[in-house]
Amino acid sequence: MIKITNIKIREDLSNDQLFEKICKKYKININDVVEKRIIKKSIDARNKSDIFYNYSVVLKCKDENKIKNVQKMEEEQPIKININRKSSQRPVIVGAGPAGLFTALTLVQNGIKPIVIEQGKTVDERKKDVEEFQKTGKLNNISNVQFGEGGAGTFSDGKLTSGIHNPLCKKVLQEFYNFGAPEQILYMNKPHIGTDNLINIIRNMRNKIIELGGEFLFNEKVVDFEIKDSKITAVICSKKIETDTVILAIGHSARDTFEKLYEKGVKMEKKNFSVGVRIEHKQEMINKSQYGEMTKLKLPPAEYKMAYHGEERSCYTFCMCPGGTVIASSSEPGTIVTNGMSKFARDGENANSAVLVNVTPDDFKGESPLEGMYFQKELEEKAFKLAGSNYYAPIQRFEDFEKNQKSTFIGEIKPTYKPGVTLSNLNEILPEFVSKTLVEGIKHFDKSIKGFANSDAILTGVETRSSSPVQITRDENKISNIKGLYPCGEGAGYAGGIMSAAVDGIKCAIAVLGTEN
Protein backbone atom coordinates (compact mmCIF):
# COMPACT_ATOMS: atom_id res chain seq x y z
CA MET A 1 0.00 0.00 0.00
CA ILE A 2 1.15 3.55 -0.66
CA LYS A 3 -0.04 6.62 1.20
CA ILE A 4 -0.34 10.07 -0.35
CA THR A 5 -1.07 13.01 1.95
CA ASN A 6 -1.65 16.74 1.75
CA ILE A 7 -3.54 16.60 -1.55
CA LYS A 8 -5.07 20.04 -2.10
CA ILE A 9 -8.21 20.05 -4.26
CA ARG A 10 -9.94 23.30 -5.20
CA GLU A 11 -12.98 21.89 -6.99
CA ASP A 12 -15.87 19.58 -6.18
CA LEU A 13 -14.99 16.11 -7.48
CA SER A 14 -16.57 12.69 -7.24
CA ASN A 15 -14.33 10.05 -5.67
CA ASP A 16 -13.59 8.58 -9.11
CA GLN A 17 -12.60 12.00 -10.44
CA LEU A 18 -10.41 12.56 -7.38
CA PHE A 19 -8.44 9.36 -7.96
CA GLU A 20 -8.10 10.12 -11.66
CA LYS A 21 -6.55 13.46 -10.75
CA ILE A 22 -4.21 11.89 -8.19
CA CYS A 23 -3.06 9.17 -10.58
CA LYS A 24 -2.38 11.73 -13.28
CA LYS A 25 -0.31 13.88 -10.93
CA TYR A 26 1.80 10.97 -9.66
CA LYS A 27 2.02 9.30 -13.10
CA ILE A 28 0.20 6.19 -11.96
CA ASN A 29 -1.70 4.10 -14.51
CA ILE A 30 -5.17 3.95 -13.01
CA ASN A 31 -5.61 0.47 -14.50
CA ASP A 32 -2.76 -0.69 -12.24
CA VAL A 33 -4.65 0.41 -9.11
CA VAL A 34 -6.02 -2.70 -7.37
CA GLU A 35 -7.49 -0.93 -4.34
CA LYS A 36 -8.03 2.70 -3.41
CA ARG A 37 -9.61 4.55 -0.54
CA ILE A 38 -9.75 7.97 1.07
CA ILE A 39 -8.43 7.99 4.63
CA LYS A 40 -8.88 11.68 5.41
CA LYS A 41 -10.80 14.64 4.03
CA SER A 42 -10.94 18.05 5.63
CA ILE A 43 -11.77 21.63 4.66
CA ASP A 44 -9.08 24.26 4.96
CA ALA A 45 -10.90 27.59 5.27
CA ARG A 46 -8.20 29.62 6.99
CA ASN A 47 -7.83 31.80 3.90
CA LYS A 48 -11.37 32.77 2.83
CA SER A 49 -10.09 33.69 -0.64
CA ASP A 50 -8.59 30.25 -1.14
CA ILE A 51 -10.66 27.51 0.51
CA PHE A 52 -9.73 23.96 -0.47
CA TYR A 53 -10.21 20.31 0.44
CA ASN A 54 -7.24 18.49 1.91
CA TYR A 55 -7.15 14.75 1.22
CA SER A 56 -5.06 11.78 2.25
CA VAL A 57 -5.48 8.52 0.33
CA VAL A 58 -4.03 5.03 0.14
CA LEU A 59 -3.55 3.02 -3.04
CA LYS A 60 -2.65 -0.59 -3.68
CA CYS A 61 -1.01 -0.96 -7.09
CA LYS A 62 0.32 -3.87 -9.12
CA ASP A 63 3.90 -2.59 -9.04
CA GLU A 64 4.36 0.00 -6.32
CA ASN A 65 8.14 0.15 -6.73
CA LYS A 66 7.67 2.13 -9.96
CA ILE A 67 5.88 4.95 -8.16
CA LYS A 68 8.11 7.82 -7.04
CA ASN A 69 7.83 10.31 -4.17
CA VAL A 70 5.19 8.46 -2.16
CA GLN A 71 5.11 6.90 1.29
CA LYS A 72 4.81 3.12 1.76
CA MET A 73 2.15 2.06 4.25
CA GLU A 74 1.86 -1.26 6.05
CA GLU A 75 -1.50 -2.90 6.68
CA GLU A 76 -2.88 -2.25 10.17
CA GLN A 77 -2.89 -5.23 12.48
CA PRO A 78 -6.18 -6.27 14.12
CA ILE A 79 -6.65 -5.59 17.82
CA LYS A 80 -5.67 -8.64 19.87
CA ILE A 81 -8.04 -9.66 22.66
CA ASN A 82 -7.07 -12.18 25.31
CA ILE A 83 -10.01 -14.37 26.31
CA ASN A 84 -9.62 -15.86 29.77
CA ARG A 85 -13.23 -15.79 30.91
CA LYS A 86 -14.34 -19.15 32.34
CA SER A 87 -17.59 -18.22 34.08
CA SER A 88 -20.71 -20.05 32.92
CA GLN A 89 -22.91 -17.11 33.95
CA ARG A 90 -23.93 -14.59 31.29
CA PRO A 91 -22.76 -11.00 31.74
CA VAL A 92 -25.52 -8.44 32.23
CA ILE A 93 -25.25 -5.02 30.58
CA VAL A 94 -27.43 -2.31 32.09
CA GLY A 95 -28.21 0.25 29.40
CA ALA A 96 -28.36 0.10 25.59
CA GLY A 97 -26.62 3.37 24.70
CA PRO A 98 -23.32 3.48 22.77
CA ALA A 99 -21.33 2.11 25.72
CA GLY A 100 -23.74 -0.76 26.33
CA LEU A 101 -24.18 -1.65 22.67
CA PHE A 102 -20.46 -1.72 21.93
CA THR A 103 -19.83 -3.76 25.08
CA ALA A 104 -22.43 -6.25 23.88
CA LEU A 105 -21.14 -6.29 20.31
CA THR A 106 -17.54 -6.93 21.41
CA LEU A 107 -18.60 -9.70 23.75
CA VAL A 108 -20.70 -11.58 21.17
CA GLN A 109 -17.98 -11.18 18.54
CA ASN A 110 -15.76 -13.08 20.96
CA GLY A 111 -18.18 -15.84 21.90
CA ILE A 112 -19.73 -14.41 25.09
CA LYS A 113 -23.52 -13.95 25.04
CA PRO A 114 -24.65 -11.07 27.28
CA ILE A 115 -28.09 -9.98 28.43
CA VAL A 116 -28.76 -6.29 27.78
CA ILE A 117 -31.36 -4.69 30.05
CA GLU A 118 -32.84 -1.37 28.90
CA GLN A 119 -35.56 0.46 30.81
CA GLY A 120 -36.71 2.25 27.65
CA LYS A 121 -38.09 1.01 24.36
CA THR A 122 -36.57 -0.10 21.07
CA VAL A 123 -35.28 2.78 18.99
CA ASP A 124 -38.28 2.79 16.62
CA GLU A 125 -40.83 2.87 19.45
CA ARG A 126 -38.73 5.41 21.29
CA LYS A 127 -38.76 7.70 18.25
CA LYS A 128 -42.58 7.76 18.43
CA ASP A 129 -42.48 8.76 22.11
CA VAL A 130 -39.99 11.58 21.41
CA GLU A 131 -42.18 12.89 18.58
CA GLU A 132 -45.28 12.68 20.79
CA PHE A 133 -43.53 14.72 23.49
CA GLN A 134 -42.56 17.37 20.94
CA LYS A 135 -46.12 17.59 19.63
CA THR A 136 -48.14 17.44 22.83
CA GLY A 137 -45.81 17.89 25.82
CA LYS A 138 -46.76 14.41 27.04
CA LEU A 139 -43.58 13.00 28.63
CA ASN A 140 -42.84 9.29 28.85
CA ASN A 141 -40.27 9.17 31.65
CA ILE A 142 -38.74 5.85 30.56
CA SER A 143 -38.76 6.45 26.80
CA ASN A 144 -37.48 9.86 25.75
CA VAL A 145 -34.39 11.67 24.46
CA GLN A 146 -32.33 10.43 27.44
CA PHE A 147 -33.67 6.88 27.88
CA GLY A 148 -34.15 4.06 25.41
CA GLU A 149 -32.19 2.05 22.87
CA GLY A 150 -29.30 4.07 21.46
CA GLY A 151 -28.94 6.36 24.47
CA ALA A 152 -28.95 10.16 24.53
CA GLY A 153 -26.74 10.42 21.45
CA THR A 154 -29.45 8.98 19.19
CA PHE A 155 -31.30 12.29 19.18
CA SER A 156 -28.31 14.55 18.57
CA ASP A 157 -26.11 15.51 15.65
CA GLY A 158 -24.54 12.07 15.80
CA LYS A 159 -21.01 13.46 16.10
CA LEU A 160 -18.25 10.86 15.92
CA THR A 161 -15.42 13.12 16.99
CA SER A 162 -13.41 12.67 20.16
CA GLY A 163 -10.28 13.98 21.78
CA ILE A 164 -9.17 10.59 23.12
CA HIS A 165 -7.06 9.50 20.08
CA ASN A 166 -7.50 5.81 20.88
CA PRO A 167 -6.87 3.12 18.21
CA LEU A 168 -10.29 1.72 19.09
CA CYS A 169 -11.88 4.81 17.50
CA LYS A 170 -11.22 3.26 14.08
CA LYS A 171 -13.03 0.10 15.13
CA VAL A 172 -16.03 2.14 16.26
CA LEU A 173 -16.19 4.00 12.94
CA GLN A 174 -15.82 0.77 10.98
CA GLU A 175 -18.64 -0.89 12.95
CA PHE A 176 -20.94 2.10 12.40
CA TYR A 177 -20.16 1.84 8.67
CA ASN A 178 -20.79 -1.93 8.73
CA PHE A 179 -24.23 -1.29 10.21
CA GLY A 180 -25.26 1.30 7.64
CA ALA A 181 -23.51 4.63 8.26
CA PRO A 182 -22.36 6.60 5.19
CA GLU A 183 -18.85 5.67 4.03
CA GLN A 184 -17.62 9.23 4.54
CA ILE A 185 -17.53 8.77 8.32
CA LEU A 186 -14.41 6.64 7.74
CA TYR A 187 -12.42 9.56 6.41
CA MET A 188 -14.09 12.91 7.15
CA ASN A 189 -12.13 15.06 9.57
CA LYS A 190 -15.29 15.74 11.59
CA PRO A 191 -17.60 12.78 10.92
CA HIS A 192 -21.24 12.78 11.91
CA ILE A 193 -24.15 10.42 11.30
CA GLY A 194 -27.27 12.44 12.05
CA THR A 195 -30.19 11.20 14.08
CA ASP A 196 -32.02 9.90 10.99
CA ASN A 197 -29.19 7.48 10.18
CA LEU A 198 -28.53 6.53 13.80
CA ILE A 199 -31.97 5.02 14.24
CA ASN A 200 -31.39 2.51 11.43
CA ILE A 201 -27.80 1.78 12.50
CA ILE A 202 -28.79 1.02 16.09
CA ARG A 203 -31.55 -1.34 14.95
CA ASN A 204 -29.07 -3.17 12.71
CA MET A 205 -26.55 -3.43 15.52
CA ARG A 206 -29.12 -4.88 17.91
CA ASN A 207 -30.19 -7.46 15.32
CA LYS A 208 -26.57 -8.59 14.82
CA ILE A 209 -26.03 -8.91 18.57
CA ILE A 210 -29.15 -11.07 18.81
CA GLU A 211 -28.06 -13.14 15.80
CA LEU A 212 -24.77 -13.90 17.56
CA GLY A 213 -26.51 -14.99 20.78
CA GLY A 214 -27.02 -11.80 22.77
CA GLU A 215 -30.38 -11.04 24.40
CA PHE A 216 -32.23 -7.75 24.92
CA LEU A 217 -34.81 -7.02 27.60
CA PHE A 218 -36.61 -3.75 26.79
CA ASN A 219 -39.07 -1.96 29.09
CA GLU A 220 -37.20 -3.58 31.97
CA LYS A 221 -35.88 -1.32 34.69
CA VAL A 222 -33.11 -2.52 37.00
CA VAL A 223 -34.34 -1.56 40.47
CA ASP A 224 -31.78 -3.28 42.68
CA PHE A 225 -28.46 -5.06 42.79
CA GLU A 226 -27.71 -8.14 44.90
CA ILE A 227 -24.28 -7.92 46.46
CA LYS A 228 -22.72 -10.57 48.74
CA ASP A 229 -19.25 -10.34 50.28
CA SER A 230 -18.50 -7.30 48.07
CA LYS A 231 -19.31 -9.30 44.93
CA ILE A 232 -22.18 -8.78 42.51
CA THR A 233 -24.43 -11.84 42.42
CA ALA A 234 -27.62 -10.66 40.71
CA VAL A 235 -29.57 -7.75 39.26
CA ILE A 236 -33.23 -7.26 40.02
CA CYS A 237 -35.74 -5.99 37.43
CA SER A 238 -39.16 -7.59 37.04
CA LYS A 239 -37.27 -10.78 37.80
CA LYS A 240 -33.99 -11.77 39.43
CA ILE A 241 -31.13 -12.43 37.03
CA GLU A 242 -28.16 -14.15 38.62
CA THR A 243 -24.79 -13.07 37.29
CA ASP A 244 -21.21 -12.46 38.39
CA THR A 245 -20.61 -9.68 35.86
CA VAL A 246 -22.55 -6.43 35.46
CA ILE A 247 -21.52 -3.68 33.07
CA LEU A 248 -23.06 -0.39 34.23
CA ALA A 249 -23.68 1.55 31.01
CA ILE A 250 -26.52 3.54 32.51
CA GLY A 251 -25.97 6.96 30.91
CA HIS A 252 -25.68 10.36 32.58
CA SER A 253 -29.37 10.74 33.44
CA ALA A 254 -30.16 7.55 35.41
CA ARG A 255 -30.56 9.40 38.67
CA ASP A 256 -32.54 6.78 40.58
CA THR A 257 -29.92 4.17 39.62
CA PHE A 258 -27.15 6.44 40.93
CA GLU A 259 -29.05 6.69 44.20
CA LYS A 260 -29.51 2.92 44.41
CA LEU A 261 -25.83 2.26 43.72
CA TYR A 262 -24.82 4.78 46.41
CA GLU A 263 -27.22 3.10 48.83
CA LYS A 264 -25.61 -0.28 48.06
CA GLY A 265 -22.11 0.98 48.88
CA VAL A 266 -20.74 1.43 45.38
CA LYS A 267 -18.00 4.06 45.56
CA MET A 268 -18.55 7.24 43.58
CA GLU A 269 -17.30 10.81 43.63
CA LYS A 270 -18.49 14.27 42.72
CA LYS A 271 -17.03 15.59 39.51
CA ASN A 272 -16.88 18.77 37.47
CA PHE A 273 -19.46 19.28 34.74
CA SER A 274 -21.06 22.24 32.98
CA VAL A 275 -24.42 24.00 32.70
CA GLY A 276 -25.78 26.73 30.48
CA VAL A 277 -28.11 27.31 27.56
CA ARG A 278 -28.61 26.50 23.89
CA ILE A 279 -27.93 29.39 21.51
CA GLU A 280 -29.47 29.67 18.03
CA HIS A 281 -28.34 31.69 15.01
CA LYS A 282 -29.08 31.61 11.32
CA GLN A 283 -26.96 28.91 9.71
CA GLU A 284 -26.37 31.24 6.79
CA MET A 285 -24.59 33.69 9.09
CA ILE A 286 -22.34 30.93 10.44
CA ASN A 287 -21.52 29.81 6.89
CA LYS A 288 -20.55 33.33 5.80
CA SER A 289 -18.40 33.84 8.87
CA GLN A 290 -16.55 30.55 8.48
CA TYR A 291 -16.30 30.35 4.69
CA GLY A 292 -16.64 33.94 3.46
CA GLU A 293 -18.56 34.61 0.23
CA MET A 294 -15.95 33.98 -2.48
CA THR A 295 -15.70 30.21 -2.71
CA LYS A 296 -17.58 28.27 -5.39
CA LEU A 297 -17.11 24.96 -3.60
CA LYS A 298 -20.28 23.17 -2.44
CA LEU A 299 -19.31 23.18 1.20
CA PRO A 300 -21.33 21.57 3.99
CA PRO A 301 -23.03 23.72 6.64
CA ALA A 302 -20.25 25.28 8.70
CA GLU A 303 -19.40 24.30 12.25
CA TYR A 304 -17.59 26.00 15.12
CA LYS A 305 -16.00 25.13 18.43
CA MET A 306 -14.86 27.91 20.77
CA ALA A 307 -13.76 28.48 24.33
CA TYR A 308 -13.45 31.50 26.62
CA HIS A 309 -11.37 31.60 29.80
CA GLY A 310 -12.48 34.33 32.17
CA GLU A 311 -10.91 35.39 35.43
CA GLU A 312 -13.24 33.20 37.49
CA ARG A 313 -14.87 30.70 35.11
CA SER A 314 -14.52 29.13 31.70
CA CYS A 315 -17.18 29.04 29.02
CA TYR A 316 -17.26 26.96 25.84
CA THR A 317 -19.48 25.82 22.99
CA PHE A 318 -20.51 22.18 23.00
CA CYS A 319 -22.30 19.79 20.65
CA MET A 320 -22.76 22.36 17.89
CA CYS A 321 -25.53 21.29 15.49
CA PRO A 322 -25.36 22.87 12.02
CA GLY A 323 -28.77 23.21 10.38
CA GLY A 324 -30.36 21.62 13.43
CA THR A 325 -33.00 22.11 16.08
CA VAL A 326 -33.08 22.54 19.83
CA ILE A 327 -34.80 19.47 21.19
CA ALA A 328 -36.83 18.86 24.35
CA SER A 329 -34.78 16.38 26.37
CA SER A 330 -36.53 16.03 29.72
CA SER A 331 -36.53 12.61 31.35
CA GLU A 332 -38.29 13.44 34.63
CA PRO A 333 -41.67 15.07 35.28
CA GLY A 334 -41.55 18.78 36.06
CA THR A 335 -38.18 19.51 34.45
CA ILE A 336 -36.90 21.24 31.30
CA VAL A 337 -33.74 19.92 29.67
CA THR A 338 -32.47 21.01 26.26
CA ASN A 339 -30.14 19.42 23.74
CA GLY A 340 -29.31 19.91 20.06
CA MET A 341 -30.15 17.64 17.14
CA SER A 342 -29.39 17.54 13.40
CA LYS A 343 -30.32 15.21 10.59
CA PHE A 344 -27.51 13.94 8.38
CA ALA A 345 -28.23 16.61 5.74
CA ARG A 346 -28.02 19.39 8.34
CA ASP A 347 -30.40 21.37 6.16
CA GLY A 348 -32.35 23.35 8.79
CA GLU A 349 -32.46 27.15 8.86
CA ASN A 350 -30.81 27.55 12.26
CA ALA A 351 -27.51 26.53 13.79
CA ASN A 352 -27.48 25.78 17.50
CA SER A 353 -24.94 24.96 20.15
CA ALA A 354 -24.76 24.60 23.88
CA VAL A 355 -22.89 27.44 25.57
CA LEU A 356 -21.75 26.06 28.90
CA VAL A 357 -20.03 27.28 32.06
CA ASN A 358 -18.00 24.96 34.25
CA VAL A 359 -19.28 24.08 37.70
CA THR A 360 -17.26 22.32 40.38
CA PRO A 361 -18.05 20.39 43.58
CA ASP A 362 -17.44 23.63 45.50
CA ASP A 363 -20.66 24.96 43.94
CA PHE A 364 -22.79 22.19 45.48
CA LYS A 365 -24.49 22.41 48.85
CA GLY A 366 -23.85 19.11 50.63
CA GLU A 367 -21.21 16.41 50.98
CA SER A 368 -22.95 13.55 49.16
CA PRO A 369 -21.34 12.50 45.86
CA LEU A 370 -24.80 12.99 44.35
CA GLU A 371 -24.94 16.74 45.08
CA GLY A 372 -24.08 17.64 41.48
CA MET A 373 -27.07 15.61 40.34
CA TYR A 374 -29.33 17.55 42.69
CA PHE A 375 -27.78 20.82 41.47
CA GLN A 376 -28.75 19.85 37.89
CA LYS A 377 -32.28 18.88 38.87
CA GLU A 378 -32.91 22.13 40.74
CA LEU A 379 -32.02 24.14 37.64
CA GLU A 380 -34.26 21.98 35.46
CA GLU A 381 -37.21 22.38 37.83
CA LYS A 382 -36.74 26.16 37.92
CA ALA A 383 -36.74 26.27 34.10
CA PHE A 384 -39.97 24.25 34.04
CA LYS A 385 -41.71 26.70 36.38
CA LEU A 386 -40.29 29.79 34.67
CA ALA A 387 -41.78 28.76 31.32
CA GLY A 388 -45.23 27.96 32.68
CA SER A 389 -45.03 24.38 33.98
CA ASN A 390 -46.20 22.92 30.66
CA TYR A 391 -42.91 21.62 29.13
CA TYR A 392 -42.48 24.81 27.12
CA ALA A 393 -38.90 26.05 27.35
CA PRO A 394 -37.92 29.51 28.64
CA ILE A 395 -36.22 31.55 25.90
CA GLN A 396 -34.61 34.97 25.73
CA ARG A 397 -32.99 37.20 23.13
CA PHE A 398 -29.30 37.75 23.87
CA GLU A 399 -29.72 41.54 24.08
CA ASP A 400 -32.31 41.10 26.82
CA PHE A 401 -30.23 38.46 28.59
CA GLU A 402 -27.30 40.87 28.74
CA LYS A 403 -29.57 43.64 30.07
CA ASN A 404 -31.19 41.27 32.60
CA GLN A 405 -34.69 41.97 31.30
CA LYS A 406 -37.46 39.66 30.18
CA SER A 407 -37.82 39.35 26.42
CA THR A 408 -41.08 40.66 24.99
CA PHE A 409 -40.67 39.70 21.33
CA ILE A 410 -38.81 37.32 19.03
CA GLY A 411 -36.62 38.94 16.39
CA GLU A 412 -35.18 37.61 13.14
CA ILE A 413 -34.02 34.30 14.64
CA LYS A 414 -36.96 31.98 15.32
CA PRO A 415 -36.67 29.34 18.07
CA THR A 416 -36.92 25.69 17.00
CA TYR A 417 -37.75 24.10 20.36
CA LYS A 418 -40.98 22.09 20.55
CA PRO A 419 -43.59 21.72 21.99
CA GLY A 420 -43.33 25.49 22.55
CA VAL A 421 -41.46 28.38 24.14
CA THR A 422 -42.13 31.12 26.68
CA LEU A 423 -40.47 34.54 26.59
CA SER A 424 -38.61 34.82 29.88
CA ASN A 425 -35.62 36.18 31.77
CA LEU A 426 -33.19 33.29 32.20
CA ASN A 427 -31.16 35.31 34.70
CA GLU A 428 -33.93 34.60 37.22
CA ILE A 429 -33.01 30.90 37.37
CA LEU A 430 -29.31 30.70 36.44
CA PRO A 431 -26.65 31.17 39.12
CA GLU A 432 -25.12 34.62 38.82
CA PHE A 433 -21.69 33.24 37.92
CA VAL A 434 -23.25 31.30 35.04
CA SER A 435 -25.12 34.32 33.64
CA LYS A 436 -22.07 36.57 33.98
CA THR A 437 -19.75 34.10 32.24
CA LEU A 438 -22.26 33.40 29.47
CA VAL A 439 -22.43 37.10 28.59
CA GLU A 440 -18.65 37.40 28.64
CA GLY A 441 -18.22 34.25 26.59
CA ILE A 442 -20.82 35.05 23.93
CA LYS A 443 -19.34 38.52 23.42
CA HIS A 444 -15.87 36.98 23.20
CA PHE A 445 -17.05 34.44 20.60
CA ASP A 446 -18.35 37.35 18.52
CA LYS A 447 -14.71 38.25 17.82
CA SER A 448 -14.28 34.93 15.99
CA ILE A 449 -17.77 34.69 14.47
CA LYS A 450 -19.17 38.13 13.75
CA GLY A 451 -22.84 38.03 14.66
CA PHE A 452 -22.54 35.47 17.43
CA ALA A 453 -23.60 38.14 19.93
CA ASN A 454 -26.49 39.20 17.66
CA SER A 455 -29.21 40.94 19.69
CA ASP A 456 -31.78 38.46 18.34
CA ALA A 457 -29.76 35.30 19.03
CA ILE A 458 -32.07 32.98 20.94
CA LEU A 459 -31.01 31.48 24.28
CA THR A 460 -33.05 28.45 25.37
CA GLY A 461 -32.79 27.12 28.91
CA VAL A 462 -31.50 24.98 30.35
CA GLU A 463 -28.67 22.69 29.19
CA THR A 464 -27.53 20.59 32.14
CA ARG A 465 -26.75 17.10 30.81
CA SER A 466 -23.50 17.69 28.93
CA SER A 467 -21.82 15.04 31.08
CA SER A 468 -22.38 12.96 34.18
CA PRO A 469 -22.34 14.79 37.55
CA VAL A 470 -20.69 11.77 39.22
CA GLN A 471 -17.88 9.34 38.61
CA ILE A 472 -18.24 5.75 39.74
CA THR A 473 -14.71 4.79 40.72
CA ARG A 474 -12.99 1.81 39.06
CA ASP A 475 -9.53 0.23 39.06
CA GLU A 476 -7.12 -0.50 36.21
CA ASN A 477 -9.19 -3.58 35.35
CA LYS A 478 -12.31 -1.39 34.98
CA ILE A 479 -13.88 -2.92 38.13
CA SER A 480 -15.50 -0.90 40.94
CA ASN A 481 -15.09 -1.62 44.64
CA ILE A 482 -17.72 -4.32 44.09
CA LYS A 483 -16.15 -7.31 42.32
CA GLY A 484 -17.80 -8.01 38.97
CA LEU A 485 -19.29 -4.51 38.66
CA TYR A 486 -17.85 -2.56 35.71
CA PRO A 487 -18.75 1.17 35.58
CA CYS A 488 -18.80 2.07 31.89
CA GLY A 489 -19.29 5.00 29.55
CA GLU A 490 -20.61 8.49 30.01
CA GLY A 491 -22.88 7.88 32.98
CA ALA A 492 -20.04 6.39 35.02
CA GLY A 493 -17.89 9.43 34.23
CA TYR A 494 -15.51 7.87 31.69
CA ALA A 495 -16.75 9.29 28.39
CA GLY A 496 -18.21 12.42 26.83
CA GLY A 497 -20.04 11.62 23.62
CA ILE A 498 -20.92 8.76 21.27
CA MET A 499 -17.37 7.94 20.22
CA SER A 500 -15.70 7.93 23.64
CA ALA A 501 -18.67 6.04 25.17
CA ALA A 502 -18.43 3.37 22.47
CA VAL A 503 -14.66 3.07 22.98
CA ASP A 504 -15.14 2.70 26.72
CA GLY A 505 -17.72 -0.02 26.04
CA ILE A 506 -15.13 -1.93 24.02
CA LYS A 507 -12.54 -1.42 26.77
CA CYS A 508 -14.91 -2.82 29.40
CA ALA A 509 -15.77 -5.79 27.18
CA ILE A 510 -12.06 -6.52 26.73
CA ALA A 511 -11.64 -6.33 30.52
CA VAL A 512 -14.53 -8.78 31.03
CA LEU A 513 -13.12 -11.16 28.42
CA GLY A 514 -9.70 -11.06 30.04
CA THR A 515 -10.89 -11.74 33.59
CA GLU A 516 -11.07 -15.38 34.70
CA ASN A 517 -13.76 -14.75 37.35
Ranges of residues in the chain with a pLDDT under 70 are 66, 68-69
**Which residues lie closer than 8 Å to 289 by C-beta, 6 or more apart?**
302, 449, 450, 451
- At residue 68, the pLDDT reads 67
DSSP H or E stretch at residue 36: strand 33-44
* pLDDT confidence of residue 427: 98
Residue 377, pLDDT score = 97
Residues 105 and 510 sit within 8 Å (Cβ to Cβ) = no
- Are the C-beta atoms of 252 and 493 separated by less than 8 Å? no
Choose which CATH entry (3.40.50.800, 3.40.50.460, 3.50.50.60, 1.10.760.10) describes domain 92-267+480-514: 3.50.50.60
Decide: 125 and 114 in contact? Cβ < 8 Å.
Answer: no
What does the pLDDT read at residue 1?
A: 84
Residue 69 is predicted with a pLDDT of: 66
What backbone torsions phi and psi does residue 305 show, to the nearest 5 degrees? -150, 120
- Name residue 29's amino acid: N
CA 194 centroid distance within chain: 11
Q: List 274's β-bridge partners, or say none.
A: 358
Q: Which residue type is seen at 269? A: E
Cα–Cα distance for residue pair 257/250, rounded to 1 Å: 8
Q: Give the H or E element holding residue 123.
A: helix 123-136
Q: Which long-range contacts (CB under 8 A, 24 or more apart) does 301-305 make?
A: 301/346, 301/347, 301/351, 302/45, 302/351, 303/190, 304/353, 304/448, 304/449
Q: CATH code for 2-72? A: 3.30.70.2700
Closest CA to 404 of 363, 443, 432: 432
Residues 8, 16: Cα–Cα separation, whole Å: 16
Q: How many CB atoms lie within 10 A of CB 26?
A: 15
Question: What is the spatial distance between Cα 202 and Cα 158, in angstroms, rounded to a whole number?
Answer: 12
Separation of alpha carbons 253 and 151, rounded Å: 10
Domain ranges of the chain: 2-72, 92-267+480-514, 273-463
